[in-house]
Chains A and B, each alone.
Chain A
Amino acid sequence: MTGVREDFREILRLVRPGARVLDVGCGGGELLELLAREKQVDGRGVEISPQGVSACLARGLAVMQGDADRDLDQFPTGAFDYAVLSQTLQATRNPRQVLGELLRIADRAVVSFPNFGHWRVRWSLLRRGRMPETRSLPEPWWSTPNIHLCTLADFNALVADLDVRIEACAALSEGRPARPMDPNSTLENWRAEAALFLLARRSTDPVEPEGVPRDLFGG
């Protein structure tokens, strides 16, 4: 498993073997293929570009062309164990509704996003007085797809409002292994370049599958 993205490694650890997984924004299907191979998941994908969907088809994956904002209503309630939305929430038109949809379709959602509270972002704005351009957010304001950026604290507030339970949380930074973190920590809101959450509907019983520690990050 060399060359596997660190956030994919984390998702791989989080997901129960044999689970039904929907990957929203699945690109060429790398994560779904990994999950099928390593965790025998029954995977489905949603991808906006026809080229991405074609690549998925060639891998034998079941993927539909669609958009996180518009097309999640195609899936019945409770159809999946997990819905994954990787580094895409900040590019949706209505992140709150998308999160709600993920947790309608699936018992659990794995969501990652760049943290706008990271010190590099804050420093860039403070120093230049212009919209931050960092290594995780390289595009200028007028061309960036990231129209709904948020900080770790902002995301926590939304999660609290949505009546959703946080089952696990990790900090991500490029090229380094994911690190479990306290989502409510003020310090982490400065430190974490990106965050990955495992969310569950309140109505969902906490998972305690055999052989998997309660802290899904093994911490």
Chain B
Amino acid sequence: MTLEATSEIEQRGGVWRFPADQPLRLDSGGRIEGLEIAWASYGRLNADRSNAVLICHALTLDQHVAATHPVTGKPGWWTRLVGPGKPLDPARHFILCANVVGGCQGSTGPGSVNPATGRPWGLTFPVITIADMVRAQAMLVEAMGVETLLAVVGGSMGGMQVLQWAASYPERIFSAVCVAGAARHSAQNIAFHEVGRQAIMADPDWRGGDYALHGTRPEKGLAVARMAAHITYLSEMALQRKFGRELQRDGLSWGFDADFQVESYLRHQGASFVDRFDANSYLYITRAMDYFDLAAAHGGVLAEAFSGARDIRFCILSFTSDWLYPTPESRHIVRALNAAGARASFVEIESDKGHDAFLLDEPVMDAALAGFLDSVCTARGLK
């Protein structure tokens, strides 16, 4: 047994199947019957059920937060935060993460079989929203016997879900952590997503979304979508530092091979992404993010969305070099929380790593989250 193996975290997990009489009601007016939600958890729920923490994942991530990913074999995506001795510790907390509805790691999504037709949903899958994702999570949390979550924690799209939790179920959460998030998608956010979707739909193998029936996969389109999106997760400085104008081989090819290291890197990002992600899921989840505007349902006043969230402790974090969800978006959230009289804390962390900083080595973020989550445990009377 290797050292890695002994430090491997114990993960429980599975797929929760909701009975047909418990459909997921959607913002679009539709419903999903026979909903399945894939989940993973670490640690155990304590006797008074007060130590449950829900982690909300970002666009292309999934429920494998802290254990080795079954498809990629890579470590969990937030081992900085979750693990023995970490701010969220299985010895202390019951940590739960669920694949979002619309996703492709076991939860009901466009790649699932529609029970009514016996065929994959494809584009007949209903358009979902961030609020729908959160509604499904709330059903799962309730089914697991958790009345109040100690904390809901998420970055990027996960942060949007955290804000939605505070708006939809304020009485069911004690604290909320939103890292590198936003309360709405900007024109620029929508624009980049549209480029990704068009790349997928332009791939002949996409087949109008019915690629599963045709035995094809729009890998080229999905890879290009990932390449474009990946640039938005980094900063100019991070790209420059990592690659500069470095070449792959000696000299130029005088053609269109990947001469530059940055090209090769992006191609690799695209190619490895298609192994673990479904193209239609990418369409549906990016759409959900584009539709997200938390204030819209409250007369355009974000503070109104948080009117029930006065007693929740919020921790909002942003990064200086994040141009996808830049600091003004977080400040916009904080201003609304202040107007609603909520207990809001906010830190802008100095980093040149861009949006992806929330997944990377940022000691100031670690310290802020550790301090915040520890104080939340104390306030809740957890040891």
- List the interface of chain A (C-beta within 8 A of B): 44, 50-51, 53-66, 71, 74-76, 79
Closest to A22 in B: B338
| A56/B350 contact (C-beta < 8 A), A50-B364, A50-B368, A51-B364 known | no
Bound state CA distance, A57 and B377, in angstroms? 12
Encode B355-370 as 1/0 by CB contact (under 8 A) with A.
0000000001001101
Of the stretches B104-112, B162-170, B339-347, the one at the interface is B339-347
Bound state CA distance, A75 and B364, in angstroms? 25
| A63/B345 contact (C-beta < 8 A), A54-B364, A57-B372, A58-B370 known | yes
In this assembly, does B219 line the interface, its C-beta being within 8 Å of a C-beta of chain A? no
Bound state CA distance, A71 and B330, in angstroms? 13
**Residue pair A50, B338 in contact (C-beta under 8 Å):** no
| A56/B349 contact (C-beta < 8 A), A62-B313, A74-B335 known | no
Bound state CA distance, A75 and B334, in angstroms? 9
**Residue pair B345, A62 in contact (C-beta under 8 Å):** yes
In this assembly, does B379 line the interface, its C-beta being within 8 Å of a C-beta of chain A? yes
In this assembly, does B378 line the interface, its C-beta being within 8 Å of a C-beta of chain A? yes
Main secondary structure of the interface of A (DSSP, over half): mixed
- List the interface of chain B (C-beta within 8 A of A): 313-315, 331, 334-335, 338-339, 341, 343-350, 364, 367-368, 370-372, 374-376, 378-379
- With beta carbons under 8 angstroms apart, the residue of B313, B344, B374 that contacts A64 is B344
- With beta carbons under 8 angstroms apart, the residue of A51, A56, A59, A79 that contacts B338 is A79
Q: Can you list 14 contacts pairing A with B, beta carbon distance less than 8 Å?
A: A50-B348, A50-B364, A54-B347, A54-B368, A54-B371, A57-B345, A57-B371, A63-B345, A63-B346, A65-B346, A66-B346, A74-B335, A75-B338, A79-B338
Shortest Cβ gap from A70 to chain B (Å): 10
Q: Which of B315, B334, B371, B374 gathers most chain A CB within 10 Å? A: B371
Counting from the closest, the 5 A-B pairs by CB-CB distance are A58-B371, A60-B375, A64-B346, A57-B371, A62-B343
Which chain B residues border A63 with CB–CB below 8 Å?
A: 345-346
Shortest Cβ gap from A117 to chain B (Å): 37
Q: Known contacts A64-B334, A66-B346, A74-B334; can you find 7 more A-B pairs with CB under 8 A? A: A50-B349, A50-B350, A53-B347, A54-B364, A58-B371, A62-B313, A79-B338
Bound state CA distance, A57 and B316, in angstroms? 11
- With beta carbons under 8 angstroms apart, the residue of B349, B375, B379 that contacts A57 is B375
Bound state CA distance, A51 and B341, in angstroms? 24
**Residue pair A57, B368 in contact (C-beta under 8 Å):** yes
Closest to A55 in B: B371
**Residue pair B347, A59 in contact (C-beta under 8 Å):** no
**Residue pair A60, B378 in contact (C-beta under 8 Å):** yes
Which chain A residues border B313 with CB–CB below 8 Å?
A: 62
Which chain A residues border B350 with CB–CB below 8 Å?
A: 50
Which chain B residues border A60 with CB–CB below 8 Å?
A: 375-376, 378-379
Bound state CA distance, A75 and B338, in angstroms? 6
**Residue pair B364, A76 in contact (C-beta under 8 Å):** no
Bound state CA distance, A17 and B376, in angstroms? 24
Bound state CA distance, A61 and B370, in angstroms? 13
| A65/B371 contact (C-beta < 8 A), A50-B364, A60-B379, A79-B338 known | no
Bound state CA distance, A11 and B239, in angstroms? 49
**Residue pair A74, B338 in contact (C-beta under 8 Å):** yes
Which chain B residues border A57 with CB–CB below 8 Å?
A: 315, 345, 347, 368, 371-372, 375
Bound state CA distance, A96 and B370, in angstroms? 38
